[in-house]
Copies of this chain bind each other. A is one copy, B any other.
Amino acid sequence: MTNLTAGPPLVTLPGFLAHWQGHRRLTRRVIEAFPEDQLFTFSAAPPMRPFGALAWEIQQVSELTLTGLLTGEWIEPDWRGGTSTDRARLLRHWDALSARLDAEFLQVDPAFFGQTHRLPWGEMSGWEAAIYTIDNEIHHRGQGYVYLRALGTEPPAFYER
């Protein structure tokens, strides 16, 4: 493989994986922090979706991104797969993907990050696709923090991963 870099990397594959997994652990704690009867029903500002629906979106986009980075195929998920209102089922899918990330992410070709890919929502580099996935998770999870506060529940510490 040609070495295209002129210096040390801003972040390595293991560093990026640790970053992603830290966010997944925090989002998992937010999912768990909701009162069970509010996770899929409550919105602090309707028509915004309940946090359970946002969490399923995060899960499906993350799955798409890992598969895309590994195979070059970016297939829009069947969003109906994210309509279950069973927290235990959501967490099972969540944990399975986290395990898959640990097992497979380091096999991603670093060159993939610099190349342009065609995603269901437009053309972007692998870096942009990967970081967008995490950004979208942080964005929606931040909204979940407001929901929790509105429900009178202390959210998990943002800086703890």
Contact = CB atoms under 8 A, between A and B. Distances in A.
Interface of A: 1-13, 15-16, 19, 23, 44-45, 48, 110-111, 113-114, 121, 125, 127-128, 130-132, 135-136, 138-143, 145-147, 149-150, 158-159
Contacts of A19: 128, 131
A111 to B, nearest CB: 5
Contacts of A135: 23, 138
B11 A7 contact: no
21 contacts: A1-B8, A3-B5, A4-B7, A4-B8, A4-B9, A5-B5, A5-B9, A8-B111, A8-B114, A9-B9, A10-B16, A15-B127, A44-B146, A45-B147, A45-B150, A138-B139, A138-B142, A139-B141, A139-B158, A143-B143, A143-B146
**Which residue of A7, A111, A147, A150 has the most chain B CB atoms within 10 A of its CB atom?**
A7
A121 B159 CA distance: 9
Contact of A145 (B113, B121, B136, B139): B139
Given A9-B10, A135-B138, A142-B143, 12 more contacts: A3-B3, A3-B7, A4-B7, A4-B8, A5-B9, A8-B111, A8-B113, A10-B110, A45-B146, A45-B149, A138-B139, A142-B142
The binding surface of chain A is classed by DSSP as helix
A10 B11 contact: yes
A158 B136 contact: yes
